[in-house]
Structures are given as C-alpha cells and as structure tokens.
C-alpha cells in the first residue's frame, strides 16, 4: 500500500522540483560571477537513474553533492589581459544518490576525484580591485560561460536492505565516472554517468551503474 502511494505522488513531486530548479536557474543566470572562477565550492541537486545491475524494478530518484573545483589558469592570458581563464584541473565531490526498488531503498555514497578539461569559455570583466594584503588583483566578471569535459575514479559505499540469496553485501566499491558540465555564471548543469568496477555482492556480478542530471550553484 505504501509503494502505491509513492507512485501516485512521485510525478507531481517531480514536476514541482523541476519547476523550482529551473526558476532558480533563470535567476542565477543574471547574477554577477564569483571573482575566483575555477576555484569554487558549491552544491548540486538533481535526478538519477540506474541502480545495482542484476536487480529488476529499480527507479533512480534523487542525487545531491557538495563539490570543490581546483583549476589551472592560462597564465599568459592572465599576464596580458588580467582575465582568469580556467584551462584544466580537478574536481572533488561528496555525492549521494537514492534509488528505490521493489524490495527496498538503496543509498549510494561516492567520492569522485575527476580531471576537468575546458572545451571552451567566455567571460566579460567588470572590475579589478587590488588586494594590498595579498598583493593580488581580484577580478569580478559580469558573464561567464564554459563547457567542461571530465572523467576519473571514484570510491563508494552502498547502504541498502535488499538481499540476494546467500550472497553477502560488500558495501565498499570502486568505480569510474565521467560527464560534461555547462556553466552559466554561478549556475551549472552537470550530466554524467558512473559505473562500478567491483561488485557490491560477493560472490556475484552486481555493480553500481547509472547516470544523472544535476543542477549546481557555486559560491
């Protein structure tokens, strides 16, 4: 009876969440860009699909993460124009995803460390303020657009009440993740996929696998 109620309320809840996310995206796209482009901390929320391979009746629901990006800059362009242009670097995440199944729920926690490469970006500088304490110039931008491609390894942990016969749950796993990010000022759209490399049941061939679309905001 509980599962039937969830199926009835989920479509309307999903529409409401989508409306809030896209409304936030429109507002944020007009915001002034943070001064340190490419070295931000932020969070993201979205929708996921997939689950554990070998099990039927799975539905991906929500995903969320806290991220930190550490990007290298084009030093030549910085010296010539003062504009900070991210080129490549790392992004660290603490990610959570939730999947529902006929037998129960699945919580997946992952820690990806991915390499990011800038496929193209554009920014308009608004002002430059000299910081006397650090002897550096702080740049503020009115617009920032960029596309990043990223991939890398991840460590994960699964928490679930589903069982598979006499097989034993092996909650810790290793995997890989890859995707593409589109940035609009402080706001980003992140589309990615992940695949476990070690089984979460032993013995067995049951891997974490799926994808997600997330909407993020950087401080």
pLDDT digits (tens, 9 = 90+) for 155-183: 999 998 887 877 888 999 999 999 999 99
Q: Does a structural domain hold residue 194?
A: yes
Residue 12 confidence (pLDDT): 47
Q: Does a structural domain hold residue 219?
A: no
Distance set, CA 191 to CA 81, 115, 117, 183 (Å): 32, 15, 15, 12
Q: Does a structural domain hold residue 127?
A: yes
Q: How many CB atoms lie within 10 A of CB 158?
A: 23
Residue 135, domain extent: 31-205
Distance set, CA 79 to CA 100, 119, 133, 135, 146 (Å): 52, 21, 20, 15, 21
Q: Does a structural domain hold residue 190?
A: yes
151 Ramachandran zone, left/alpha/beta (phi>0; psi -120 to 50): beta
The domain tally of the chain equals 1
DSSP, residue by residue, 166-186: TBEE--EEEEEEEEEEEEETT
Q: How far apart are alpha carbons 131 and 27 in whole angstroms? A: 30
Q: Does a structural domain hold residue 1?
A: no
Q: What is the pLDDT along the chain (219 residues), one digit of tens a residue?
A: 444 434 434 454 555 555 555 555 544 444 444 445 677 899 999 999 998 988 877 888 899 999 999 988 877 766 665 566 788 999 999 999 999 887 778 999 999 999 999 998 777 666 667 767 777 666 666 677 889 999 999 999 999 888 787 788 899 999 999 999 999 888 999 999 999 999 999 888 899 999 999 999 988
> Of 62, 30, 12, 19, nearest to 187 (Cα)?
30
Can you list the positions of beta strands (E) in the chain?
Answer: 41-52, 59-73, 86-100, 105-131, 136-160, 168-169, 172-184, 187-196, 201-202, 208-218
Q: Where are the alpha helices (DSSP H) in the chain?
A: 2-28, 75-81
CB 213 within 8 A of CB 203: no
Q: How far apart are alpha carbons 35 and 93 in whole angstroms? A: 21
Q: Does a structural domain hold residue 20?
A: no
């Amino acid at each position: 009876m509980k599962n039937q109620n969830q199926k009835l309320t989920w479509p309307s809840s999903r529409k409401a969440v989508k409306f809030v996310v896209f409304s936030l995206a429109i507002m944020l796209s007009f915001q002034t860009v943070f001064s340190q482009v490419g070295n931000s901390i932020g969070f993201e929320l979205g929708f996921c699909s997939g689950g554990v391979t070998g099990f039927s009746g799975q539905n991906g629901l929500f995903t969320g993460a806290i991220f930190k990006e550490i990007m290298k800059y084009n030093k030549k362009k910085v010296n010539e124009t003062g504009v900070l242009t991210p080129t490549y670097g790392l992004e660290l995440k603490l990610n959570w995803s939730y999947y529902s199944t006929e037998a129960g729920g699945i919580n997946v926690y992952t820690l990806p460390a991915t390499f990011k490469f800038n496929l193209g970006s554009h920014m308009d500088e608004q002002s430059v303020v000299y910081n006397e304490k650090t002897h550096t110039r702080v740049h503020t931008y009115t617009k920032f657009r960029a596309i990043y491609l990223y991939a890398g390894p991840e460590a994960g942990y699964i928490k679930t009440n589903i069982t598979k016969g006499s097989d034993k749950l092996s909650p810790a796993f290793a995997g890989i993740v890859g995707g593409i990010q589109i940035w609009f000022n402080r706001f980003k759209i992140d589309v990615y996929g992940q695949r476990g490399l070690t089984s979460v049941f032993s013995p067995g061939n049951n891997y974490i696998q799926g994808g997600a679309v997330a909407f993020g905001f950087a401080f």
